[in-house]
Amino acid sequence: MSQRIVLTTTASVPNREIKEVVDIVSAEVAVGMNIFKDMFSAVRDVVGGRAGAIQDTLRDLRGQALEELRQEASRVGADAVVSVDLDYSEFSGGGRSMLFIVANGTAVRLK
């Protein structure tokens, strides 16, 4: 059911009216940075300074975060999430490093 949740970076859904704001929703995905170090040592497809395997991994992580955002919106009974924002951040400490992708927005019900 979460696949029917509309996600948009705009403050409204085209051709739809917002009936009510439900809640702020967010989703987080974290991955150890070692995955990227391992890829760099194995990746041979760096062309023009771009690493396709790493870009694919980041794209997959973004997709996971957006799917979890849809699930959160569905959980609170929303039809859409507007003003979606994606943030990427790194957290380091104790000899470990993690990459976080956070997706958040405003869950709404549509008329």
The CATH number covering residue 64 comes to 3.30.110.70
pLDDT tens column, 35-47: 555 555 445 454 4
Q: Which amino acid is at 96?
A: R
Task: Find the domain containing 41 and state its range.
Answer: 2-110
How far is it, in rounded angstroms, from Cα 76 to Cα 49?
Answer: 43
Domains in the chain, number: 1
Which residue type does 66 have?
Answer: L
Task: Give CA torsion, residues 14, 17, 22, 23, to 10 deg.
Answer: 30
- Residue 41 is predicted with a pLDDT of 46
The reported pTM is 0.79
- Share of residues in the chain with pLDDT > 90 (%): 58
Q: What value does the mean pLDDT take over residues 98-108?
A: 94
